[in-house]
Amino acid sequence: MDTCIICGTSTDGPICDIHQEDVVFEFEGDHASQLTSGRYYHGTVDGYADFGVFVNIGAVTGLLHRSKLDRRLESLDWDVGDDIFVQVESVRDNGDIDLGWSIRQAESEFRGVLVDSPDGDYLVDEETGAEEPESKPEAEPESEPEAEPEPEAEPEPEAEPEAETSEGPTPEPSPNDGVADDADDGGDEVDDADETDDGFDRSPVESLRDRVGDRVQLEGEVVSVRQTSGPTVFELRDETGVVDCAAFVEAGVRAYPEIEADDVVRLDGEVRLRRDEIQVETESLVSLTDDARDAVLERMDAALTAEAEPSDATPLAEDPAIEAIDERVDEVATTIRRAVLESRPIVVRHDATTDGYTAGAAIERAVLPLIEDTHATADAVYHYFDRRPLEDGVYDMNDATKDVTRMLGDQERHGEKLPLFVFTAAGSTAASVDGLEFLEIYDVPKVVIDGQGTDSGIEALVDTLAVAPDRTATTVASTIAAAINDDVRDDLRALPAVSYWANVPEAYADLASEAGVDADDARKLREAIALKAHYQSYEDKRELIVDLLFEGRTGLAEQVSEQFRRKMDAELETATANLEERDVSGVSVTILDTDAFVHRFDFPPARLLLDELSRQLETDAVVGVGTDELHVRTDHELDLDALVAVLREEVPNAGVTDPGARQPKIEFLAGEREAVLDAIVDAVAESVVAATP
């Protein structure tokens, strides 16, 4: 009998059943059936497919499906032949191997290295086991061989866990001792000293790519803390950027447990290049207090305030409606830029319509490059920015509850800041009050960008808003996006024209034409986005929107637009054959029973169909009536509050309410449907007559 290299219990091999997943195996077999499910194996990247990564494990190949990754497939920077570590989840009867993700991507992050051979498991050669000392889990020995110190390190540290200590080859002070020592004597030297007594040069984050291999000192704020199965990773932000700093005690053990997100710290360490990403290998980390802390915060705040100011807030086109809100545009742009610079996640909540998607895409186009410039990690654009569509542009308690649950989970697990919520073509009506109030409980920053006025109570619930009546949300959002990042201004020129279903303002039609998007191109894009917004309304569709709006793939837009038109025409044919026409005092009102003559859960949805009917029919108003709700479309000015008051008087037992939707919508009790319909037709006719000169 052997003894387990980890716990010392008697076992048939070098590792017991309980600790199989604590070590990594080299595979010496020649058939998939010889692999052991649940074990972690060393492999090499064999190639990519749309659905995942093929990985060689010795003489066999398995699939690491994209659904098993902890990041997007596109954000992986593995090249063919790169060494990686994966878990074998299962081996199918046909020999296919299903692989799982391993957060541990270095031998030193496991507690041992064994060989899985057909004859049994055995320890690797001692010289192999010593290639990566435990104290340097984040190092890349193949790219930085000279950075591996201490030849006297244990040759088999993973095989003798009882010998592990919190000190690696480079002695690391106790976190508690470090806080006491540095906090007491470091406060007065923060602003003036450029070099410490220990040979660490005080350096800004933005300079670290030129300092690979150097020992540096950083001062800044901890953005987040991530505990991996190997080191603890502190994301550190100063006034120039953000960098990951790895601190190692032993595998899976939290280093510097007293350091949390939002702490202001001084960190000493060595700059490393890991998979082309800068990382600092931490040797000392202490929390700053009193004058030292204040000095760092003041320095960072002054720099962030200056950098957050837009360099160019010039509108995309001459437009009095936009010029009237230029201060609001500048304020929202500054808020969003500041969120990026202080590593605050940004969540864009937008209506699941063409206007909502295009407005959200404008903000996304401006923000992503800034996130890439600020953060050293390749997947930061997915970590710090998200778009989430909303049905009918309403942010209700269901949406708010999901968002709060997610953000609190991210804060608890990773110490993240609470996100900045940006509402585009959404969140501006009374129906969103409950959701916004729920966010307000957690003091979450919020901005609203829209092309219509806001309902009462909304402005008090958001930090700032930019709304331009009689414009689309995309028109406002594109102007703000250009102020956020002037480098993408040219990419934004066609977006406003895409967002208008009719009567595109001449200034924006000309702007789109200058960008190579004529009226027909804009129509195809508008329709293509509307179709995709319906069928994938709960996903951000980042890549698809990029292809449609920014990559000039007119073939894609044309194909999807043809699908839109085919489905819309088929629904229009059914609807127009079942319209009811009423004439009241010379006012024509067209009625569609949306329950009876609109396909549920298929395209187009009722509200888009009613929009199209209103544009195509020669009528003063279109009323779509369902079981307990109705929608009104008209080119005439409509006072919804007055309509609701009339209905309540005419049908007092119908429970008539205005739910506060973005487009005129009234709810009522199903039992009074016919009475409410008769009353709304008369009320709309009177409203049209009153509004006609």
Residues 6+ apart with CB under 8 A from 661: 392, 393, 394, 429, 431
Decide which of 227 and 356 is more confident: 356
Amino acid identity, residue 686?
E
Cβ count near 487 (within 10 Å): 12
Token output for 464: 């700032």
Question: Residue 297 in contact with residue 287, Cβ under 8 Å?
Answer: no
- Position 311 pLDDT exceeds 90: no
For the chain, the average pLDDT equals 84
Q: Give phi and psi for 521, each to the nearest 5.
A: -60, -45
* pLDDT above 50 for 161: no
Rounded to whole angstroms, how far apart are CA atoms 496 and 512?
8
Phi, psi of 193 (to 5 degrees): -75, 135
pLDDT at 364 over 80: yes
In the predicted model, what is the mean pLDDT of residues 332-352?
Answer: 93
pLDDT value at position 375?
80
pLDDT, position 543: 76
- Which helix (H) or strand (E) is 149 found in, with range? none
Amino acid sitting at position 657: T
Give per-residue burial for 264-282: e unless 16+ CB within 10 Å, then b: bbbbbbbbbbbeebbbbbb
Query: Residue range 635-654: average pLDDT?
Result: 92
Identify the structural domains of the chain with CATH numbers, from first to last. Answer: 2-124 (2.40.50.140), 175-306 (2.40.50.140), 309-493 (3.40.50.10490), 578-691 (3.10.310)
- Name 52's bridge partners: 49, 65
Residue 261, both tokens:
């997100």
For the chain, give the longest Cα–Cα distance.
Answer: 100
Tokens for 628?
A: 């307990």
State yes or no: pLDDT of 236 exceeds 60.
Answer: yes
User: Could you tell me which residues are beta bridge partners of residue 247?
Assistant: 232
Residue 463 tokens read as: 């930090």
Output the pLDDT for position 18. 80
Q: Report how far residue 236's alpha carbon sits from residue 375's, in angstroms, rounded to the nearest whole number.
A: 10
Q: What is the pLDDT of residue 124?
A: 74
**Whole-number pLDDT of residue 693:** 73
pLDDT band at 552 (very low <50, low <70, confident <90, very high): low
Report, as an integer, the average pLDDT of 669-673: 96
Confidence of residue 541 (pLDDT cuts 50, 70, 90): low
Q: What is the Cα–Cα distance from 240 to 497, expressed in whole angstroms?
A: 37
| Confidence at residue 677, expressed as pLDDT on a 0 to 100 scale | 96
What would the pLDDT profile of 479-517 be if each residue is shown by its tens digit?
A: 999 999 999 999 999 999 999 999 999 999 999 999 999
Average the pLDDT over 679-688 and give the result.
93
For the residues 540-551, what does the mean pLDDT come to? 78
pLDDT value at position 181?
39
- Across 309-338, average pLDDT: 92
The tokens for 176 are 């508690």
Residue pair 474/451 in contact (Cβ under 8 Å)? The answer is: yes
State the sign of the Cα–Cα–Cα–Cα dihedral 439, 441, 447, 453: positive
Q: How confident is the model at residue 17 (pLDDT cuts 50, 70, 90)?
A: confident
Give the pLDDT band of residue 273 (cuts 50, 70, 90).
confident
User: What is the mean predicted confidence (pLDDT) over 618-639?
Assistant: 93
- Is residue 465 classed as helix, strand or coil in its secondary structure? strand
In the predicted structure, residue 321 carries a pLDDT above the cut 50: yes
Which of 180-194, 199-213, 362-376, 601-615 is the least confident region?
Answer: 180-194
pLDDT surpasses 50 at 167 = no
Pairing mode, strands 201-202 and 120-123: unpaired
The whole-number pLDDT of residue 419 equals 95
Report the side by side order of strands in the sheet with 346-351. 385-390, 346-351, 420-424, 446-450, 464-467
pLDDT tens for 370-415 read 998 888 666 788 889 999 999 888 999 999 999 999 999 888 877 7
| CB-based contact 545:361 (threshold 8 Å) | yes
Residue 135 binned pLDDT confidence (cut-offs 50, 70, 90): very low
Q: What is the pLDDT of residue 539?
A: 57
* Residue 625 three-state SS: strand
What is the structure's pLDDT at 149? 43
Read off the DSSP letter of residue 413. Answer: H
Q: Residue 6's closest CA among 88, 111, 94, 104? A: 111
pLDDT band at 125 (very low <50, low <70, confident <90, very high): low
* Half-sphere exposure for 414 (CA within 13 Å, toward CB): 18
Distance (Å, rounded) from C-alpha 644 to C-alpha 641?
5
Q: Are strands 201-202 and 215-227 parallel, antiparallel or unpaired?
A: parallel
423, β-bridge pairs: 349, 448
Helix ranges (DSSP H) in 536-576? 542-549, 554-576
Residue count (the chain)? 693
Q: At a CB cut-off of 8 Å and minimum separation 6, what does 417 contact?
A: 223, 261, 262, 342, 343, 344, 345, 411
Q: What is the pLDDT of residue 94?
A: 73
With a cut of 80, say whether residue 157 has pLDDT above it.
no
